[in-house]
Each structure stands twice: as structure tokens, then as C-alpha cells.
Structure 1
């Protein structure tokens, strides 16, 4: 029947165009003869293969003494992991909860409870962590030492080894070797972990190789210093102001300005004070007329973005880098609230207040953030926020954040509240959850389509307290559509509220399954007991 290559060639071209030797008959007979010949050829090829030498058997998996998942929680994890792979091929979900979005919450809750992942589900768990970086921290913690052992046997899961090696190096004192020999991602992970455990040791490690690093790597390493930033970092950051990379210099200046006691903050305060003064009519602004080399060294970008005036651009950078403690003394001993209430002459108020907003966020100053936010605008008042309210809210205590956003939504609805909701503590407080559900109900009664609020609905599925399920369930009945509403909107809203209700109840059930009391002595089998 000819050689194996002849058979492959005939299969690719077709027996009508090319027949191997010995094949006769019509097209159908020739095709059958070709397949028979190929089957025989496969047997011959396999019979002639010399067995390879046996490889080294992997060592036993390390012991994991954490408790087993309760049986109901184990089944839930299997369901969530299986649904993750089915989502890509699934279209519109209708009223069905999105299990893929519940997986991060389940993993975080299981990690808090101190469980270990079932052995049979480790491959699916590692696959999920490989596909979604937002799952990796909790998934790898749940997988534990046996997950790392398994990851060493599959190149597709090498990301788990990098994370595990970084943690182990930080704990076991092998940081220097990993810092010198590791991949960039491993080094970033190591530096971040060390900043949490020992900021000074992490800084010393970075200093040891700083001059030999690439500019783009220096930028990323410098950004990692945000974790655990303290006055002890000032000397290193001052030296980084002379770096040959403009991006590195800018980031170093930003970090120094977040340290109100730094020398850079003092220099910026002096410049900003010279631009702002108080007159009987209000605050007077005299923006700089030039950006000198000293200003540029301290992080002031000389070239403004398109559409922005140079003087306003320079002025904003000076003010947002100056310590906020500069202004009460400069402006007559007033409190932040009193300063914000002062009129600013010559239309400089938007620039000045926006710079103060950036400074409050950078310096994590809750007093100034509270003053700049003010009370939520009343229903009849326009929303004229200066800066980014969501960023200002993010530095306030959780309960205060939720109360402010709840009042805002009650007065102005959801159209401008998405970013604010995303920085609120999870689960949302009861007043905030009630305000969101009421606003969704008002939107439904107005005849809008639910997908106009899909972002808020998605947040609600993840962030509403599961106890709100009964409040949402009341809204699942199809409401009468207003005459001027969107056709069919009522049916879609009913479906959306059914999905939200089902998701909340499922979240409550998931948490209950994880909190089942465990019998004493329960643990994952050790090596040799799998």
C-alpha cells in the first residue's frame, strides 16, 4: 500500500486525485481501502516504537491540615467551576444567576473560613485562576500546598509556582536569590509582599539593583513603593527625582508629595503659597508665569494637555502637591469647610478646588475630603461636583461613605452614581441597598429598559446584602407599562429583578453552606492518603 507519507498525501489530496499503490476500484472503494491501509500502518508504526526510559516519579504532595469543605460547599464549588467554562457558549441568561460572577465571592468566603480545596477540583480551580487574574489570590490560597505541587507538573499552571515561590522566598529568606534570578512578575510580587512585611528590607533590595534596571522596570518597581510608603523612603525617592526617565521622576515626585513632611512637599508648599492669598473679597490666585527647571525636577510637567492653559496647568500641579496643612495658616486660620466656602476671584475656583480634591485623595485627608464633598446635593439642586466624588468618598469611613451615596441616590437617582457605588463597602449597608432598589424601581416605572442600568444591576448582584432578597422579590411581578414607556420594558425588568432575587438568595445559601460546623479532627489527608 505504499509508505506512510504516501498514505498521508492521498488522504490530504483525496483518492480521486492521488491513489497510493495497490488501491483500486471506484472512489468509495478507494476511500475505504485507504482507511484500511492507514489503520494497518498505525499498528505497524506503534509496534516499532522503542519504549522510552521511565522518568522520575514526582514526590508525594505535602500535607494540608486545613479542614475539608462541607459536602454542600464542595458541590457548590464544582458547580461554579463548571459554569465558568459554559459561560462563553451561553447567550442571554434571562432570570438565571450568573454563577461566574459569584465564584470570586465564594472563593473569598472559603478562604476566610480557612478551608482547603477538594483534591479532585484542584485542576479546575487552577484553570480558573489561570483564566482570570482576579481569582488568583483567593484560588491559590484555597489550593494550598497541594495546588502548588500539582502546578509543578503542568506548564500551563506555572503562574501558581511564581506566586508561591515569591511568598516562600519572602518568608524563608531567599528573597535575594529570587530578586536576582526571577522573572519580572516574580520580582514585582516579591517586592510587594516584602513591603507589607518589612518595608525597609524591601527598599534595601530595590536599592541594591536600582542602577542596573531598565527604565520601564524602575517605574513599576517605584510604583510598588506605594505599599507601606513612609518617611523612611524619602531619601531614595529624592534621588529618583534625578532619574534619566521622565516617568520615573514624575512618579517619585507624586510619592513624595503624598508624604506631607517631605522636603519636596515643603518646596511645593512654598511655591503654592506664593500663588494664593486672601483679600477682603475672597481668595486671590496669581498662577506662575513660567515653569523653571527646579519645578520640573520636582515633578511639574511643563507642557499642558491640549486645551489647557499653561499657567492653570502649572498652578494645579503646585497646589495638589502641597500639604493641605498649608492652607489654614495661609487663609486666616480657617477650617477646611470655611476655606471651601470662600469665594475665589477671577474664575479660578474650579482649578483651585480640583487641585485640593487631588491633594485630599493623595494625602488620604478625610477632613478635607469631607469638606470638598459637602452634603449630597438636594433634589432640586444641580449636581456640580468638582474633582472626582468617588475618589473623595473612597477615603472616608465605610458607614459614612454608604450614607452619603444613599442620600445622593435618593435625591438624584442612579445616572451619576455608578462610580460612587463601586467604592462603597461590601455588602452595602441597609440604607444604601434600599436606596438602590428604590431607584431601580423608579427607573422601571419611568419606562426605561433595564439594560440602561446594567452596570448598577451587576453591582447589586455582587454587593447588595443577601437579606435584601425579599425587598427585591416584591418587584419581580410584571408592572403595567406607562403609555410613553419603552415597549416590552416591563417584562425585561421583571426578568432582571428575578435574576437579582435569585442571585441574592443563592449568595445567602453559599455563605450558609460554608459555615456548617466541622467535626473535631477533620483535615485534608496527608501525603500517601490521597
Structure 2
């Protein structure tokens, strides 16, 4: 027997209302009768019939529209493809997601933490990603801002093309100078001028940065053409680009910027000028700072005495000295610190009897001014990239004060280390760890070149081994252990095999500490060997070159 649906009589104001049909479907025909249909067991069929009729009516009411223009094909990527093993490794790294559950990590490597290193190695070798990996690569970069520069460089032009079709990936267009658009050739002066005058802000920033890295004078001249009409926040960003290739030729432009109506622009111009020891501003600051510090030879030992400025005049403000001190800071010490920070470090040997930086730093300072004076010298050494003064302020890594008389904080020591060569930096931090252990070394390790030099790697492993043997609380060293997984030279893996066994627990040791240490060292060794395998895979010939005949 065939069931016959109840007749439907759609009415423009009732049965034709799509919203009424949707409401009846959501609530159920037992609670809401479809418009134009009597209640009863046939109501569900009537609802479907009415929906079919209304669907046809809605579609028939659409006006024809012009077909959308199909997207242009993705641009070609001229770089060679990844070797097959490296491509498979990339898929594995991108598929890994950090676990949501707490507790111990086990011995498995943290693949997401290895992705930045893999990307850096792939970029150094100039490989292109597999097209199918681009969505996962963009998703990974979306979730981690620290990953974006390397990920977008590796993703290349096809990822920029793809990002235009997904709002979740629009960050890639904002993060890339020019929003993924190609910058003009740096010899095409007409096109450069047009882009500078008419381009979007991101395009102009990218253009200025690219031009500055190749021809600093041309970039500065381009900036001067529109400087007077730029917004204050844009002037600040553009001025910051002059840090690349900063030279005495930039001084006239920066001197003009000292009169800018924006305080932030004036401060940045003053900072850049103070980084030029031969600039007029540096000479003015040298006179001001030199008048505040002298050697008192009437004491048993030569002693530095400080007479901080009693006012901040208009000339000082024009040269970048901020008049208003932060809350809780004395005005005179605030002004004094700024003067010393901006004065060329070459001022002090001439001013203080021809002494070397080491001898100057070793002098006692009267009236509790030592901390303020040495902290200002630290900032000056970092700003002027002066390795000689950085060494003097750091002192010997084994010094009892753990960093020298001028380094008043770990952050300042880390900045001073940044002015030294990679090898010297690693050697100093290794000495620091040998003398003071790992409790304060985490921030210092972060400024060392990767992979760690052999002396530094040995110092870290030895300190971890000492902490284990001493029964130390193991979770206190999880941060350093994580750094070691990413930064130790992979060749160190074989030297760590002796640390994999579970040690006998001492009576005063943390419960379960031995098992944790063994597990952590196993994960370290596994990660190092995985990193070595990753590098080997990237060194293998890619498909494009594997069968290229040798000429």
C-alpha cells in the first residue's frame, strides 16, 4: 500500500517562508506544524515536500551572475625539490603536535621543537617544499610566530599564492614584505620610486630594507623624498631600518631627525647617532659625561667620583636625554646614566689617565655610584658593539660575583656576550658553568651559537652529570635539558651512552630522580641521533639532481 502525502498548498506569506520550514524541522512536526499543512502523521512528509517546493522557488529566483574568473596558476618555484627522505621527515615533523596531558615526556624526541632547526638547514641548502606540505606548513607557522620567518622563507612563492585563498593564512601576506608581491629589481629606479610613493606600508618597509642592505645611501636618499609627509609611526619604522649599514654618511639626516616632532623618532635618531663614535652628538655626550666622572687621587687608592647633572636642559633633551625619570628613580642618576650610555667608550681612557677598560672597571667608585656607572657602561658597550669593554665588564667567568663588576644582571651579561665572537662567547659561558653550575646559565646559553662548540657542550653535560650524581631535584634542569636536545652537537651522542643507566638513588635524593635522569639522557641521545639523521637526509641528492649526468 502506497502512502499518499497530504496536499500542500503553499502560500507566499506562509508556506513560502523558508524560515518557517526551518523552524518546523528544528522543533519537529509534533511540536510545530509545517505552514500550510494540517497536523497529523503525514506532517513530516508534507514538510519535506514543502521544503522541496521552496527550494525550487528560491533557486529559480536567483539572477544569473557572471562566472568568477578562475585564479591564476600558482607561480613556479625554481628551487630544487627536497630529497625523498627529507620530504618524508618534513611530513613527520609537521604532523607532530605537543601533547595536552601533563606528566613525564618519556624518551621520545619533541619533533615540533626540531622543526625550526630543520627549516634553517633546508633554507641554507636552498630547497623547495613539496606542494602537498604547504597547508600543514602554513598551519604550523600560524600557531607559532617564532617559526614564521623560516617557515615562510622555505614555503616560498607558492605558499603566498595559497594564503590568498584562506583567511587563516593571511598572516603570511602580512609577514612577507610586499604581501607576497615581488619587489622590483633594485636597479629599476623608476619602479622603485613608484612603489615607494604608491605602495602599501608593508611593501615600502620591505623595499627600504632590501635597498638598505645593498645600497645604504640610495635607501637613505629614497627615505628623504617623503620624510616630511610620513606619519610619525611610519617615520619611526623607516628610521629603524637605518641600523643596517649605519655609517657616518647617515649623520646629517639623523641630526635633522633630532628636531622631529615625535619624541620616539627623536630618541631613535639619538640612539643611532650615539652608536657612531665620531658623530657630533657623540662628541657632545662625551663632554657632558666626562664632566660627571673624575679620578680622586687624594685617597689611598685612586677612586672614581661622580657628580651627576643637576638639570636636564633643552640641548640635552634635543640629543635624546629623557627628562622625566621613571617612578622610583632619582632624576640626577637617570640623567647621568643616559649621558654615560650615549658617550663614546673611547672617551674614558683619555679622560681617566690613559687606563685600559679593565683598569677603569677595576677602580672603586665613591658614594654608591658603582652600580649606576657600570650599568651605563654595559649599555654603551652593547650599543657600540665594543668587545674590549664587554670583556672588561664581564670579567672572568669564575669571578665570585658570577659575572664581573659591571654586569648587574643576567640579562646584561647575555647582551655583553652578544658583542663577542661565537667561539669566545662559548668559551666564557663554559667557564661560567664550570664555576657556578647551571642554575643561572640558562639565559646565557640562549645567546650561544648553535650547535654549541665542543667546550660548551662538554661543560653542560658535565654539569648535568654532576647534578645527577648529587641527587639534585631533576625537574629543575628540564629547561637546560631541552636546550641541550636542540643545541648540542649531534656528534656528542656517542659520548653520552654512559649516562643512560639508572643510577643508584642516594638517601637524600628526590624519590624517582634516578629514573627521571636516565629517561632524560635517553631522550637527549635519541634526539641528537635524530638530528644527525635529519642533516644526512638533507645532504642526499634531490630528485632533480640525482640523475644529472656529470660533465
For normalisation by structure 1, the TM-score amounts to 0.88
- Greater shift in the superposed pair: 394-403 or 142-151: 142-151
Q: Which structure features the higher share of helix residues?
A: 1
Q: What is residue 386 of structure 1 aligned with on the other side?
A: 406
Gaps of 5+ in 1: 525-530
Which residue of structure 2 lines up, in the alignment, with residue 101 of structure 1? 113
Verify: 1:441 aligned to 2:465, yes or no: yes
Kept after mapping to 2: 8 A contact 1:238/1:252:
yes
From 264, 269, 272, the equivalent of 1:247 is 264
CA offsets 1:143-167 (integer angstroms, 9 cap, x no match): 3343344445545444545626477
Query: Which residue of structure 2 aligns with residue 332 of structure 1?
Result: 353
How many angstroms does 1:247 deviate by? Answer: 1.8
Q: How does 1:56-75 map to 2 (within 5 A)?
A: 56-75=69-88
**3-state SS in 2 of match to 1:283:** strand
Deviation digits for residues 51-87 of structure 1 (CA, Å, limit 9, x no counterpart): 754333334444434322111101011111222xx33
Choose the corresponding residue for 2:127, options 110, 115, 123: 115
CA contact (8 A) 1:390 1:423 kept: yes
| Residue of 185, 189, 195 corresponding to 1:171 | 185
Q: Is the 8 A contact 2:205 2:238 kept in 1?
A: yes
1:528 alignment counterpart? none
**Equivalences for 1:113-152 in 2 at 5 Å?**
113-152=125-164
Measure the CA separation in 1 of the matches of 2:490 and 2:207. 37
* 1:501 equivalent in alignment to 2:525: yes
CA shift at 1:293, angstroms?
Answer: 1.2
Instruction: Please tell me whether the aligned partners of residues 178 and 202 of structure 2 are also in contact (alpha carbons under 8 angstroms).
Output: no
Aligned-pair distance for 1:469? Answer: 2.0
Name 1:527's counterpart in structure 2.
none
Q: Is the 8 A contact 2:141 2:148 kept in 1?
A: yes
Shift of 1:257: 0.5
**Could you give the per-residue CA deviations for residues 123-142 of structure 1, whole angstroms, max 9, x where no partner exists?**
32233334433333333333
Is contact 2:295–2:304 with CA below 8 Å preserved after alignment?
A: yes
Q: Give CA deviations for 1:224-265 in whole Å, capped at 9, x if unaligned.
A: 222221112211211111122222211111111111011100
CA distance in 2 between partners of 1:346 and 1:415 (Å) = 32
SS of alignment partner, residue 185 of structure 2:
helix
CA contact (8 A) 2:414 2:447 kept: yes
Match of 2:11 in 1: none
Distance 1:45 1:481 in 2: 80
Gap change, CA 1:169 and 1:47, over 3 Å in 2: same
Alpha-carbon spacing, 1:143–1:517, altered in 2? closer, same or farther (3 Å): same
Of residues 491-500 and 514-523 in structure 1, the stretch that sits farther from structure 2 once superposed is 514-523
Tell me which residue corresponds to 2:12.
Answer: none
The residue number in structure 1 matching 2:5 is none
* Map of 1:87 onto structure 2: 98
Alignment of 1:230-269 (within 5 A): 230-269=247-286
C-alpha separation between the residues in 1 aligned to 2:218 and 2:169?
A: 30
Tell me the CA shift for residue 303 of structure 1: 1.9
Q: Structure 2: which 5+ residue stretches go unaligned? A: 1-7, 9-14
Q: What corresponds to 1:8 in structure 2?
A: 22
Partner Cα distance (1:111, 1:120) in 2: 18
**8 A Cα contact 1:429 1:465, kept in partner:** yes
Q: Which has the higher contact order (CA 8 A, sep 6+)?
A: 1
Q: Which residue of 2 aligns with 1:286?
A: 307
Task: State whether residues 369 and 392 of structure 1, in contact with CA within 8 Å, keep that contact through their aligned partners in structure 2.
Answer: yes
- Secondary structure of the 1:347 match is coil
Task: Indicate the larger mover: 276-285 or 399-408.
Answer: 276-285
Number of matched residues? 518
Two-structure CA RMSD over aligned residues (Å): 2.9
> Bigger radius of gyration, 1 or 2?
2
C-alpha contact 1:117 1:143 (8 A) present in aligned 2: yes
Contact 2:397 2:404 in 1 (8 A): no
The correspondence for 1:220, drawn from 228, 237, 240, is: 237
**Contact 1:67/1:115 (CA < 8 Å) preserved in 2?**
yes
**Which of the numbers 438, 444, 448 marks the counterpart of 1:420?**
444
Residue 140 to residue 381, structure 1, CA distance change in 2 (3 Å): closer
